[in-house]
Amino acid sequence: MMAPFARLALALLVGAGGGTLFFRLDLPLPWMLGAMVATTVAAFAGAPVSLPRPLRNGFVLVIGVMLGSAFTPEMLATMPGWGAGVAILALYVPVATILGYLFFRKVGGFSKVDAYFSAAPGGLNEMVMVGENYGGDVRRIAIVHTVRILIVVFLVPFYFRYVVDAYSPADRYPPSPALLRSNHATLSSSSALESPAGGSAERCVFPPIN
């Protein structure tokens, strides 16, 4: 078994290779999406790529500060104009949850608990924890939400690049080593998942966390 440092080094190396490939292909957000795709493929192939939990938690703190710093006085001053968006969101969440629930029950064959907590359009950690308390399949719920996040993270940049054409050449600048580590840290958020059909899925979407 590889030491944790060796698994981390391998994950960073694979992620950097994926970022470089996406950069050469002129794809959107190459250093994030390239690293995400490369480490996911490597994990599927059985490569021992992983991230120590303390390191991941540290980067989660950094990301939280970065997100929080986006709430500037100028942005908060636009809140009065958010009414329509908030109203639409308040309608969308229950409708999406109901439709998702029906899909997982009728098509996926999920139990009522698994279908309910898998259908929520957000709150991965909360849905997993509360779903477990109600007797749900934690790994099944986690996999559904993880795949949802993976799809959104991957598709949105392509939408803005090729549909909206909101692309800056600065997006192609190679990142610092710290940014590469941060990219991998944000994407290594699931550990030891098991697929509903049986068999290990710990290498299914994101590399496992130690």
Render 2-17 in DSSP notation, one character per residue: --HHHHHHHHHHHHHH
Identify the residue whose tokens are 């500037």. 72
CA 27 from chain centre, in angstroms, equals 19
| Predicted model pTM | 0.59
Q: What is the pLDDT of residue 50?
A: 82
Burial of 206 (0-12, 13-18, 19+ CB in 10 A): buried
Q: At what angle do helices 4-24 and 177-187 cross, to 10 degrees?
A: 100
Question: How many residues can be counted in the chain?
Answer: 210
Name residue 194's beta-bridge partners: 200
Q: In the 3-class helix/strand/coil scheme, how is 138-154 assigned residue by residue?
A: HHHHHHHHHHHHHHHHH
pLDDT digits (tens), the chain, 210 positions: 678 888 889 999 999 999 999 999 988 888 888 888 898 888 888 888 887 778 877 877 887 888 788 788 888 888 888 888 889 999 999 999 999 999 999 999 999 999 999 999 888 778 988 998 999 998 899 889 888 888 888 888 888 878 876 555 544 555 455 444 544 544 444 443 443 433 333 333 444 444
